[in-house]
Structure 1
Amino acid sequence: MAKTVITYGTFDMFHIGHLKLLRRLSEMGDKVIVAVSTDEFNELKGKKTLIPYDQRAAIVEAIDCVDLVIPEESWEQKLSDVKRYQVDVFAIGEDWKGKFDFLEELCEVVYLPRTRNISTTELKRSLKRFLSISQDDLRKAFEVLELLRKDLE
């Protein structure tokens, strides 16, 4: 009997942690459904995204182990999605541990470990730090790199 797995997320700045999560989900079942948070829902959660919903959903949909992408528009929809799509496994990152145990009446709930040393939040922090480097410092760094390149020739 086919097993359906569902997960939820923003999937902003798609990275290797996202890919590993989706691959793990495909190993847990035969059909993988991914609910991608809409821009409006992220705003309600106080999250800012760099990539608009339509593009984030298209990126996730292009992953070969994903069978269906749906919009996540509210916290409450998880219960109705589990019923609507006859979900066997609800899987999400372990940082949500305990938050979705109420779904255990309908399906198995699995909290997965996150990929070490990678997160969208950390990528955004790194980008912010990078963008705060002065143009003068960047110019000096490129001059040093150019000198090193010439020395290697």
Structure 2
Amino acid sequence: MRRIITFGTFDVLHIGHIRILKRAREYGDYLIVGVSSDALNFSKKGRNPIYPYSSRKELLASMRFVDEVFMEESLEKKREYIVKSQADVLVMGDDWKGKFDEFKDVCEVVYLPRTPSISTTEIIEIIKDSNG
């Protein structure tokens, strides 16, 4: 069985998230998703996520192509998460191309193209502007 792992915040779930998760699952038999904790999201982006971790986890866990969801609490623990999950493949969006190559010694690393013209940040800005 090939195990795939990916990571993200997955806040304001959109079609780009769905597509990359579906494509990630095609690389193996079991998809594991590390979801940023609320504190990690704040440290990365300088803002709290729109939806709390528990809601984001529940949304992802309900998808038929996602087999396991866990909390990512630290960017520095990526290697530990990959090894602990016994992942064969790490899949990330190509906006991260090259940033995870350091893990090629423990698993295959694949960067998938993102869905063009959509991002959580853009969606949040559109909502803010429309309520302004």
Code of the residue aligned with 1:59 in structure 2: it is: L
Larger Rg: 1
The residue number in structure 2 matching 1:95 is 95
3-state SS of 1:117 partner: coil
Residue 87 of structure 1 and its aligned partner are, at CA, apart by: 0.6
Deviations 1:9-63 (A, max 9, x none): 0000000111101110111110000000000111111243110110001001101
The residue number in structure 1 matching 2:6 is 7
The residue number in structure 2 matching 1:58 is 58
Q: With structure 1 as the length reference, what TM-score do the two structures score? A: 0.83
The residue number in structure 2 matching 1:42 is 41
For the residues of structure 2 that align with 1:129 and 1:121, how far apart are their CA atoms? 12
Aligned partners of 2:39 and 2:48 also within 8 Å: no
Residue 66 of structure 1 and its aligned partner are, at CA, apart by: 0.3
Percent of paired sites with the same residue: 46
| Structure 1 residues 47 and 111, CA gap change in structure 2 (3 angstroms) | farther
Structure having the larger proportion of residues in helix: 1
Deviates more, 1:42-51 or 1:8-17: 42-51
Residue 98 of structure 1 and its aligned partner are, at CA, apart by: 1.1
Code of the residue aligned with 1:25 in structure 2: it is: A
4+ long deviations beyond 3 Å: none
For the residues of structure 2 that align with 1:64 and 1:42, how far apart are their CA atoms? 25
Residue 118 of structure 1 and its aligned partner are, at CA, apart by: 1.1
**CA RMSD of superposed structures (Å):** 0.8
Code of the residue aligned with 1:111 in structure 2: it is: Y
Which runs of no fewer than 5 residues in structure 2 stay unpaired? none
For the residues of structure 2 that align with 1:73 and 1:29, how far apart are their CA atoms? 25
Q: With structure 2 as the length reference, what TM-score do the two structures score? A: 0.96
Aligned partners of 2:93 and 2:111 also within 8 Å: yes
The residue number in structure 2 matching 1:21 is 20
Aligned partners of 2:30 and 2:67 also within 8 Å: yes
The residue number in structure 2 matching 1:30 is 29
Q: Which structure is higher in RCO with an 8 Å CA cutoff and minimum separation 6?
A: 2
